[in-house]
Structure formats: C-alpha cells, structure tokens
Amino acid sequence: MPARGSRIGPGDGATCRCTTRSATASPSAKSRTTEVLWPRLIRALLSHPVTAPGPHVPPDTVSALGARLDAAARARLGRSLAIRSVDTGSCNACELEANALQNPVHDLERFGLRFVASPRHADVLLVTGPLTANMREALEHTYAAMPAPKWVVAAGDCAIDGGVFKGTYAVEGGAGAALPVDLVIPGCPPTPEQFLEGLLAILEAEGRP
Ligand code: SF4
C-alpha cells in the first residue's frame, strides 16, 4: 500500500482496473463483440426513423390565410401581430396545435405572426385550457400588462367554458370567467388552420377595439 499522500505512477506496480480488463480481454470475446455490434450499427444507420406521417396541409390555403393575416395586422396595427399565450390549466394539446403555427409545415412567422414572451409586447392574449383557480391571478396580471389595443382569444373547448374539466373542484370555467373574451375558437383541440382563421377574423372584424 503506498504511503499517505504519495502519488502512484507508471512503474510503481499499480495498474488501472480498466486497463487490466481491456488488456486481458480474449481475442474471441473481441471478435464476438464486433460480430454483434457492427451489423446493428449498420442497420441503425441505414434504416429510416420511425415516425407517423405528417398532416396534410394545403400549402396554398395556409399561405393565403397567412398573407391575409399579415395584411390585416398591418392595416389595423401598422405592424405584424404579436401573441402572448397563457395556458390556464390545459392538457397541452391546444398548445401543441398553437405551436404548430410556427413549425416548418406552417411557418407563419414568414407572415409576421410571432409568439412573444412579454405581455407588454402583445396584441392578442391567447388563452388555452380551463381557467383553474391557481392561474386566475396570473391571467389577470398578464391582461393588465398588455397595451391597448388588445384582444382576448379563448382557444379550445376548455378555454371557452371549462370543457371536459368543467365542474371540477379546481376549475372556475373558461377564460370569460376572468376576462372579456373577444373571440372563441372551438375544438378539442382546434387545428392550426382554425387558430389562423380565428386570428384573421378578429383583425378583420369591424369596429373593434
Ligand atoms: S380543449 Fe381539448 S385539447 Fe384543449 S386543453 Fe381542453 S381537453 Fe385539452
């Protein structure tokens, strides 16, 4: 046993365990490992990833809606549309569909549609999920921080009236229980195209805000 504080180095008779193991691995074990690993590695490299086919999205429809949304936002606001999304207790499926507006399939950012982190930069408050008691205050603060003109959109059946969670102990109803809602987008969940049509409708509506 080496003295306390002394360093062990080459030539001291000490050998790392891993070195010992690899040095003593038999040639037949090595060749067995190679036989098993290489075919698997090659199969993995040559096979396609297992994924579900993407949804069919008519590209012309999305482009036309996006262009209309961009034109309507510029006419109404003088710039592109900024959205602050708040999930007040959803199952997350509504957010997945809303986020799909930004994925490579829809790519609505090319028309200026942006999700922003701060309510102070937002024109639209997009609410998803039932209004839970814990999220009411956060939702009200978010709305209060937004500059006018501002719109509230309740997206999905839960945000409209609580949906499948209606009547449960933690749910107070839909977004309308806390805020003045300007537009509802029904669906469980709504599709990205329905989100787009709803946003377009709110910008093209006459006399608001
Ligand atoms: S409307 Fe449907 S998808 Fe959206 S949060 Fe409610 S249960 Fe989930």
pLDDT tens-digit map of 48-78: 877 777 667 776 777 777 777 777 777 777 7
- For a ligand 1 pocket test, name from 158, 160, 185 the mutation site with the most ligand atoms within 8 angstroms of its C-beta: 158
**38-55: average pLDDT:** 81
Using CB distances shorter than 6 Å, the residues near ligand 1 are 90-91, 93-94, 128-129, 156-158, 163-164, 188-189
What digits encode the pLDDT tens for the residues 124-182?
Answer: 999 999 999 999 999 999 999 999 889 999 999 999 999 999 999 999 999 999 999 98
Cα 184 to ligand 1 centroid, rounded to whole Å: 13
Full-model pTM: 0.72
CA dihedral (85, 87, 93, 94) positive or negative: negative
Q: What is the pLDDT of residue 11?
A: 45
Q: What is the percent of the chain where pLDDT is above 90?
A: 39
Whose CA is closest to 143, among 133, 154, 132? 154
Instruction: Report the alpha-carbon angle 178-144-101, nearest 5.
Output: 80
Residue nearest to atom 3 of ligand 1 (CA): 189
